Amino acid sequence: MKTIAEPGLRRFAWRRGVASLAVFTLLAACGGGGGGGGGEADSIGSVQRMVADVAGDSTGTVGEPLGVVPGIRVVDGSGAGIGGVTVSFRVEPGGSVSPATAVTGADGRARPSAWTLGGAAGTQVLVATATGGGEQRFSVAAMPGPPNRLEAVSSLAQSGEQGGAVAQPPAVRVLDAFGNPIPGETLSFVVEQGGGSISGSPALTSAAGVATLQAWTLGSDPGSNVVRAVYPGLPDVVFTAEALEALALSIESVQINQGTQSPSGDVDLVAGRPGLLRVMLKANRSNTARPEVRVRLFQDGAPLWTEIIPAPLSGVPTDPDLSSVVQTWNLALTGDEIRPGMSLEVVADPQELVTVSSRDSMRFPVGSGAAPVQVRTLAPLRILFIPIEATAHGRTGGIFPENVENFLASTRRWLPTAEIQAELRGTNFVTDADLTDQDAIGQLLSDLQAARSLESAGDRYYHGIIPRVSGLPISGIAFRPSFPSSSFRSALSFDHLPGAAETVAHELGHNLGRMHAPCGDPDSPDPNFPYPGGATVMPGYDVTDRLLRSASDFSDYMGYCRPRWTSDYTYQGILDWRRNDPLAVAGDEGAAVDADALPRPGLLLWGRTGANGVELNPAFRLEAAPVLPDEDGPNRLRGLAADGRVVFDLSFAGVTVPHAADPAARHFSYFVPLAEADFAALHTIELAGPQGRASHVLEAAAGSGPAPAKASEAMQAVRQDALPGGGLRVRWDRARSPVAMLRDRRSGHIMAIGRSGDLSLSAEAVAGTEPELLFSDGVQTMRATPQWQEK
């Protein structure tokens, strides 16, 4: 504020704006355009300026006319008023002024008749501008109008624990008609419902126009609580808060998932296999709590470590679901941490940051101590991969040392294993089977099992890898035995990766006793599969990439639907099978140690029964560990002497092949130990069962010669030829010997089985071996050492 005295004028005051005094020059009213006429008085009189004349009121109310409107005066250099000057008026930032222009009177004065303030509280400005330039600014403090309405600042509806304070005490803003907050007003707050209490009422509005309660404590009973904010003459503001029962948290489940787990957590753990610890918490009501979970791991009672798991989400679920991958507190465990003797202590909210009614159920186990965890130790899963060389197609299964692990990818994920001992046989298994014929593939599987019966296989699973030839009708086939002690541990899978990895796991599942899951219309689905459509139901932990897979995305891998994972039903079934495998328990790297399992002379007896009858392959005399039926059944295998004496008598059921062309087919492959006297007496081998009969009878050669002469004739019909590069071609008379077998004397491996009468072995198949040719007329075995030279 500045005071100016002009000659002949009264003292007055005005507010200085940005430019409180504008001085500008007007052209002289007289005088030539070019001369220098005129003296000092003329120079002073030619200068005019605009000054405040009436200061006006310094304050006003928004939306209302100002009581005293400021005015201006235009004067010359001597201070005399100048009349006839047009002055414009405008207001900032709102409101109105009338009139918008005025002409100074003879005394140089001009003044609007009215200035109505705008709706925004704060500084408002009247700007006066004289024609030709210059302006004068007058500022007014616009005050809010009278209270017009109340506005809630805090939440109108919230919740809190019974007997506890709400998170946001009620807060109300008092506004005028233009929405300006009004400070210094008194509001009252009243508890209307719920029986709670408040503090800080009545309350004065702040500079922002807000009146806030200090606290609102809800009633002691669950239910609705109401507080009303009251200002005379205005509608009330009603605040509600739901008094909730005290928050209660509990640990509902603690389980470890190593590929899958049941809802009750009763799937056994495998020692040495990684897993995911999942802790499921439950709340009695909705909440926003984010409790941590503390896990302590013990081994044989000694503490190993303590880990803190942060909350995975805001709010502990009231209806938690283990099938969800996001509703549990998770912690990855290594295989070294999962072993017999482990125990766990789990505590929710260990720092007690969450207010709860009780902590009794927030510890596992309840009370004190650590809970023991059941862990099973399993023998390694031993698999012998065998490349299948298919001479009818000129192709060999594409498995090599560098890609063996790729064939095992799904097995590692889905099967209950900690250690897999996989071997790749160095020599191919050669067959002349037509791989476009599903029945011929079934026969090839039988041949592979025959080879297994003749080798020291122990608990190994023989898995042949066949080439993916054009027209291949199935991607895999396997035996499904009925007992863990069964020696029927052979399967075939095609070589097309990455899909072959799933096929290997699926066929191994059959070898381990599993039927098909009911998805994708498989033959002979498992009637006891517990979940509709072959579903997996529970999430599965991927031990390879350490991710928890959602159950809703997968079907059980023993069905035909994709994508695939394992159900807890299949996983536990295989785990139980492996636990009860006597060979795996007793074996040392797959080699049997029982004296009864030592190799001895005997006969390979193999074949199959089915809807179209029975098939009895020629018997072969070799040395191997005994392989006998696991159970009696409707079929009989008997060896008879010429006088009818029984040399051996086996009752058996046979083993199913889920992917066989004939669903009714049952295969058998046994090695029956015989004494030398039994060999000498054996005359007839017969197979009899509900599907028919078949037999092999030792016959004399043409004329009246002795039986051994027939064997001699058969061997004379064998032709051996060397192939370019070091291979071998063998041709024989199928009528005399329906099956030819090539055996490596060095390793004992069966290198090839042929049925066509013409079998070619590549140099790769015979490299590094000592081959021995075996033929059989059904009862008697004939041997020959290949004699050929490379051409």
Over residues 422-479, the pLDDT tens digits come to 999 999 999 999 999 999 999 999 999 999 999 989 999 999 999 999 999 999 999 9
Q: What is the pLDDT of residues 327-365, one digit of tens each?
A: 999 999 999 999 999 999 999 999 999 999 999 999 999
Going by C-alpha positions, the residue among 124, 212, 141 that lies closest to residue 174 is 212
Neighbours of 560 (CB within 10 A): 18
Which residue segments constitute the domains of the chain, with CATH numbers given?
2-143 (2.60.40.10), 149-244 (2.60.40.10), 249-376 (2.60.40.10), 392-410+441-586 (3.40.390), 599-697 (no CATH), 708-784 (2.60.40)
**pLDDT band of 40, cuts 50, 70, 90:** very low
Give 77's pLDDT tier (boundaries 50, 70, 90): confident
On the question of pLDDT at 527 being above 50, the answer is yes
CA distance 188 to 237: 11
Write down the pLDDT at residue 768. Answer: 85
Q: Is the per-residue pLDDT at 65 higher than 90?
A: yes
Residue 198 has pLDDT above 60, yes or no: yes
Query: Could you tell me the strand order of the sheet in which 47-54 lies?
Result: 22-25, 47-54, 71-76, 109-110
pLDDT of amino acid 594 = 52
Question: Residue 789: its pLDDT value, please?
Answer: 42
Greater confidence (134 vs 309) lies with 309
Structural element, H or E, at residue 175: strand 171-175
What are 197's strand-pairing partners?
Answer: 217
A 10 A CB-CB count for 16 gives 14
- Does the pLDDT value for residue 597 go beyond 80? no
Higher pLDDT, 122 or 722: 122
Single pTM value for the model: 0.77
Per-residue CA distances from 542 to 254, 510, 545, 563 (Å)? 18, 22, 6, 14
- Which pLDDT band, with edges at 50, 70 and 90, does 23 fall under? very low
Among candidate residues 112, 131, 125, the one with its CA nearest the CA of residue 50:
131
pLDDT of 587 strictly over 60:
no
Contact, 509 vs 557, CB < 8 A?
A: yes
Q: pLDDT category, 731, cuts 50, 70, 90? A: very high
Categorize the per-residue pLDDT at 596 as very low, low, confident or very high, splitting at 50, 70 and 90: low
pLDDT at 16: 33
Average pLDDT over the chain reads: 90
Residue 551 in tokens? 């159950």
Output the pLDDT for position 37. Answer: 36
Residue 2 has pLDDT above 50, yes or no: no
**Residue 705: its pLDDT value, please?**
47
At 727, the pLDDT band (50, 70, 90 cuts) reads: confident
Task: Report pLDDT digits (tens) over 389-433.
Answer: 999 999 999 999 999 999 999 999 999 999 999 999 999 999 999
Answer whether residue 550 shows pLDDT above 60.
yes
Helix or strand run (H / E) with residue 441: helix 438-454
| Lowest-pLDDT choice from 296-305, 638-647, 709-718, 769-778 | 709-718
What mean pLDDT comes out for the span 187-212? Answer: 97
d(CA 115, CA 127): 11
Q: Out of 402-411, 592-601, 681-690, 745-754, which region has the weakest mean confidence (pLDDT)?
A: 592-601
**What is the average pLDDT across 497-518?**
98
pLDDT value of position 700: 59
Average pLDDT over residues 767-789: 85
Residues in the chain: 791
Residues 6+ apart with CB under 8 A from 773: 718, 720, 730, 740, 741, 742, 783, 784, 785, 786
Q: What is the pLDDT of residues 136-178, one digit of tens each?
A: 999 999 999 999 999 999 999 999 889 999 999 999 999 999 9
Q: How far apart are CA 356 and CA 486, in angstroms?
A: 57
Structure tokens at 187: 């509001």
Residue 183 confidence (pLDDT) above 50: yes
- For 378, the token pair is 């399993």
Residue written as token pair 């392989």: 627
Residues 699-726 have pLDDT tens digits of: 754 444 455 555 566 677 788 888 888 8
Is the confidence at residue 585, as pLDDT, over 70?
no
Closest CA to 420 of 379, 458, 477: 379
Percent of the chain with pLDDT over 90: 80
Residue pair 776/464 in contact by the 8 Å Cβ criterion? no
Structure tokens at 577: 């099978």
pLDDT score recorded for residue 15: 36
The per-residue DSSP string of 714-761 comes to: HHHT-EEEEETTTEEEEE--TTT-S-EEEEETTT--EEEEE-SSEEEE
Which has more pLDDT, 216 or 551? 216
